[in-house]
A and B are shown apart, each in its own frame.
Chain A
Amino acid sequence: MLLTGAEIVVQCLQRENVKYVFGYPGGAVLHIYDAFFQQDEIRHVLVRHEQAAVHAADGYARASGEVGVALVTSGPGATNAVTGIATAYGDSIPVVILSGQVPTAMIGQDAFQEVDTVGITRPCVKHNFLVKDVAELAETIKKAFHIARTGRPGPVLVDIPKDVSAAKCEFHYPETVTMRSYNPVVKGHQGQIRKAVKALREAKRPILYAGGGVILADAADELTALARRLEAPVTTTLMALGAYPASDRQFLGMPGMHGTYEANLALHHADVVLAVGARFDDRVIGSPEHFAAEPRTIIHIDIDPSSISKRVKADLPIVGDVRHVFADFLRILDEEGLSAPSEALAPWWERIEQWRARRCLAYEQPSDGLIKPQYVIDTLWKVTKGEAIVTSDVGQHQMWAAQYYRFDHPRRWLNSGGLGTMGVGLPYAMGARFARPEAPVVCVTGEASIQMCIQELSTCKQFRLPLKIVNLNNGYLGMVRQWQELFHGGRYSESYMDSLPDFAALARAYGHVGIRVDHPADLQPVLERAFTEHANELVFLDVRIDPRENVYPMIQGGKGLTEMILSADDL
C-alpha cells in the first residue's frame, strides 16, 4: 500500500513504540500534523515554544530511558529547537528531532522559513539527516532511533522537506539496521578488565568515581554491587546522582566545584580511581595539572573512546558498555573468590571519616529569620520521603538541590549538567511526568531561570500536569552574584532583577495554584499541602529566600580539588 511521507513518519514512530511527541506545528510540517490528527496511538503534546519541545522530549528520555521525540517546523521552529538539541547533546541524551524543511526544489533559494537546519545543528547532534527522497524516509528514521539510543547516546535530527512528507511510496520498516561505519563497542577488553580488577584489589585507597554514563547505561545496580564487593567509597557526579544510594555509608557525595569536602579529598588522595562513564571535566577536577600532580592509577571505563585520556591520562582504558563491563568485573571477582578487604581499607576509611566529620554541608535555619535555601531542599526531601523526581534549572538552586536532596535511585534527578541551560527545569518536569505519571515531580528553580521557559505553565494546564514548582526566589542571578561577590570585588553588574512579577499571581493567571512563602515556619505545612490538598494541581511555590546565601563548598575555576572554600570564613 502506498503511504505519504507524513503517514510513513507516523508509522515509523508507532513501530518504535513512541508514546509521546512534543512539538509545535507550522507550514513545513502541515502534512505530518495532518497524519497525526488521523491516528490515536501517539499523543502529541503541544508546547508553547520549540525549545521546550526538545527539552520536554529530553526530560522524557532522562526519566524513562527511552528515546524522546520532538517535532518542529522549518526555519524559526528549527532554530528555536537548537538550544534544546545542544542541551541534550551536552549530556548525551537520546532524542530524535523531526524538523520540517521547505520543499526540495526551494532549498537554497532563501525561501520563507528556510534555514540550513542540517548545517546549523551539525555541531550539536550525534548525527543528522536531510531526507531528499521519500523512498529513504523509513530507513532514515530507523537509523535515527538506532544511532540515538546505541553507543554513547545523543540527539539525532531528521530534516524532512515538505514535498517529501507529501510524496507517496510503498512503506517498509526495516526490522534491523546495519551500518558499516557505525558499530559501537559493547564488550570491554577482557585482559584490561582483569588488570583493572587486580589494581582495585591491591588498592589501599580506592575510589569509584561515577558519571552520567552509569545512568545512561542503566548500570546503577551493578555499580552498587561492585562498590559493596570492593568496600570502596563512591562519589557520583552531578549527572550521576542516584546511581548510588545517597543514604549509604559508602557514598561521599558529589565531587567538584560544589562537591563535598570528603568526595574531593578522597578523589584527590586515592591511589586507584575507577572512573566510569565520567569525563574528568572542568567542573569536577578543576585544573587537570593540579590533579595530575598527585600520583595515582586511573582506570577509565567509557563507551566513547574519545572521552578517555582527553583531559586526564588513563592508565587502564576500557572501552565498552558500562553495564557489560561491570558484569565482567563482578564475574572475575567471583571467580577469584575475593575475601573482604575491610582490614586493608580501614586506614583509608578512617581518613575519609575525618574529612566527613567536617560536615561541610551543615547549615543553620534561624526560626524567625529569612528562609535558607538549604532548609527548603531538606524539607522538600523530608516531605517527599526522597521519592520525587526532581528537575532543576541552572545556578545556585541547582547546586543546593544536588547537595541537599539525597537521591537513592537513578533517573530521579534531571538537570542540564553539560551545557548548563537555564530554562530546562519546567519542560524537563513535563517530560518526566509523561514518562512516570505515578511519580511526584518537583521542579526546583530560581526566579531568573523559570522565566526562560515560563510560557510552559500554559502547556501544563492543557495537559493537567500536577507538577510542584519550588522557586527559590532571591531576586538575584544568584550564581552570578556569588562570583561577583567573591571574585569581582562585589560589583554586582546586571545580576539584580528589578520588577519581577508576582509569581504566585502569575501561576494563578495560568490556572494553577500559586503560593508565596516568606517564613521558615510556613514552609513545611505549605509543601505538605501541595502534595495532599493540591495533589492533582500544579502548585507554584514562590519561596523568598535569604538573598545573601552562597553555595559552599566551592572551588574557584581553574583551582584544584584540595583548594576548597568551605564557608565565607575561608575567604
Chain B
Amino acid sequence: MRHLISVLIENESGALSRVAGLFSARGYNIESLTVAPTEDPSLSRMTIITSGSDEIIEQITKQLNKLIETVKVVDLSEAPHLERELMLLKVRATGKDREEMKRMTDIFRARIVDVTDTTYVIELTGNQGKLDAFIQAIDPALILETVRSGVCGIGRGERVLRA
C-alpha cells in the first residue's frame, strides 16, 4: 500500500541524512522525499512517499518518531488530504508540434513558462497521476528534460500538523 508520511523535524544539518539513512538501513521503500523549511525557519517539513504492509508502515512511523530531531510524524494518507507535485518539462516545439504542444498544455491546465524558437518549458502542478498522464499524452520523442519536485501533502480541513 502506498502511504504519504509527513514529518516535522528540526532544521539542522544532518537531519535529512538521518531520515534517508533510516530508510536504507532498514530496507524501507522510498519513492519520493521532499523537504524544505516551514514558516518557522527552525523546523523543516518532509513529505515521504513510501509503500509497505501495515506492519512495515507502523515500524516506519515509529522509527521516524524515534529520531531525536523528529518533532512530529503523521501518516497523511490515513485521512482526507491533498497531494501536489510540481513538474517542469522541456519539450521540442517546432513545426506542427509547436501548436500541438500548446494545445496539450491548455488541456492539462499547465503553463508555458519559457519560450524559444525551438523549445518550450512547461510547468504543471497536480497529483502524481495527473503529471504521469501528461507525460503519457505527449510524444515521448519531443521530451528533452523532465524535472519533478516530489510530492507535497497536507491534510484537509481542520487537520493540522504543527510543532
Shortest distance in angstroms between B138's beta carbon and chain A's nearest beta carbon? 42
Q: Is B146 located at the chain interface by the 8 A CB criterion?
A: no
Contact: A126 with B68, CB < 8 Å? yes
Contact: A305 with B55, CB < 8 Å? no
Given A147-B68, A180-B71, A306-B59 contact (CB < 8 Å): yes
Interface residues of B, dominant DSSP: helix
Given the complex of chains A and B, what is the CA–CA distance between A306 and B9 in angstroms? 18
Contact: B10 with A306, CB < 8 Å? no
Closest B residue, CB atoms, query A122: B21
Residue-wise, chain B 44-67 has the 8 Å CB interface mask toward A (1 for contact) of 000000000001001100110110
Q: Is A195 located at the chain interface by the 8 A CB criterion?
A: no
Shortest distance in angstroms between B44's beta carbon and chain A's nearest beta carbon? 11
Given the complex of chains A and B, what is the CA–CA distance between A118 and B21 in angstroms? 13
Contact: B66 with A304, CB < 8 Å? yes
Contact: B71 with A309, CB < 8 Å? no
Q: Is A43 located at the chain interface by the 8 A CB criterion?
A: no
**Among A118, A130, A181, A309: residue with most chain B CB under 10 A:** A181
Contact: B55 with A181, CB < 8 Å? no
Contact: B17 with A122, CB < 8 Å? yes
Contacts of A120-148 to chain B: CB distance below 8 A = 122-123, 126-127, 130, 147
Contact: B68 with A182, CB < 8 Å? yes
Q: Is B137 located at the chain interface by the 8 A CB criterion?
A: no
Contact: B14 with A305, CB < 8 Å? no
Q: Is A310 located at the chain interface by the 8 A CB criterion?
A: yes
Contact: A122 with B58, CB < 8 Å? no
Q: Is B18 located at the chain interface by the 8 A CB criterion?
A: yes
Contacts of A162-209 to chain B: CB distance below 8 A = 179-182
Contact: A123 with B58, CB < 8 Å? no
Shortest distance in angstroms between B141's beta carbon and chain A's nearest beta carbon? 42
Contact: B62 with A306, CB < 8 Å? yes
Given A122-B21, A123-B21, A181-B10, A305-B68 contact (CB < 8 Å): no
What number of B residues sit within 8 Å (CB to CB) of A?
A: 20
**Among B13, B62, B163: residue with most chain A CB under 10 A:** B62
Contacts of B49-91 to chain A: CB distance below 8 A = 55, 58-59, 62-63, 65-66, 68-71
Contact: B70 with A309, CB < 8 Å? no
Contact: A309 with B58, CB < 8 Å? yes
- Once A and B bind, how many residue pairs between them come within 8 Å at the CB atom? 36
Which residues on B sit within 8 Å (CB–CB) of A126?
68
Q: Is A525 located at the chain interface by the 8 A CB criterion?
A: no
Which residues on B sit within 8 Å (CB–CB) of A489?
none
Which residues on B sit within 8 Å (CB–CB) of A119?
17
Closest B residue, CB atoms, query A308: B62
Which residues on B sit within 8 Å (CB–CB) of A123?
21, 25
Closest A residue, CB atoms, query B65: A305
Closest A residue, CB atoms, query B14: A118
Which residues on B sit within 8 Å (CB–CB) of A118?
14
Given A122-B14, A122-B21, A310-B70 contact (CB < 8 Å): no
Shortest distance in angstroms between A16's beta carbon and chain B's nearest beta carbon? 18
Shortest distance in angstroms between A127's beta carbon and chain B's nearest beta carbon? 4
Shortest distance in angstroms between B53's beta carbon and chain A's nearest beta carbon? 12
Shortest distance in angstroms between B62's beta carbon and chain A's nearest beta carbon? 4
Given the complex of chains A and B, what is the CA–CA distance between A127 and B14 in angstroms? 11
Contacts of B1-60 to chain A: CB distance below 8 A = 9-10, 13-14, 17-18, 21, 25, 55, 58-59
Contacts of A296-348 to chain B: CB distance below 8 A = 304-306, 309-310, 313
Which residues on B sit within 8 Å (CB–CB) of A130?
13-14
Contact: A127 with B68, CB < 8 Å? yes
Given the complex of chains A and B, what is the CA–CA distance between A118 and B163 in angstroms? 26
**Among A119, A180, A304, A313: residue with most chain B CB under 10 A:** A180
Given the complex of chains A and B, what is the CA–CA distance between A181 and B66 in angstroms? 10
Given A122-B21, A126-B68, A147-B68, A310-B59 contact (CB < 8 Å): yes
For this complex, 30 residue pairs linking A to B, each with C-beta atoms less than 8 Å apart, are: A118-B14, A119-B17, A122-B14, A122-B17, A122-B18, A122-B21, A123-B21, A123-B25, A127-B68, A130-B13, A147-B68, A179-B68, A180-B71, A180-B163, A181-B9, A181-B10, A181-B68, A181-B69, A181-B71, A182-B68, A304-B66, A305-B65, A306-B59, A306-B62, A306-B63, A306-B65, A306-B66, A309-B58, A310-B59, A313-B55
Name 16 extra pairs, CB < 8 A, besides A118-B14, A122-B17, A181-B68: A119-B17, A122-B21, A123-B21, A126-B68, A127-B68, A130-B14, A147-B68, A179-B68, A180-B71, A181-B10, A181-B71, A305-B62, A305-B66, A306-B59, A306-B65, A313-B55
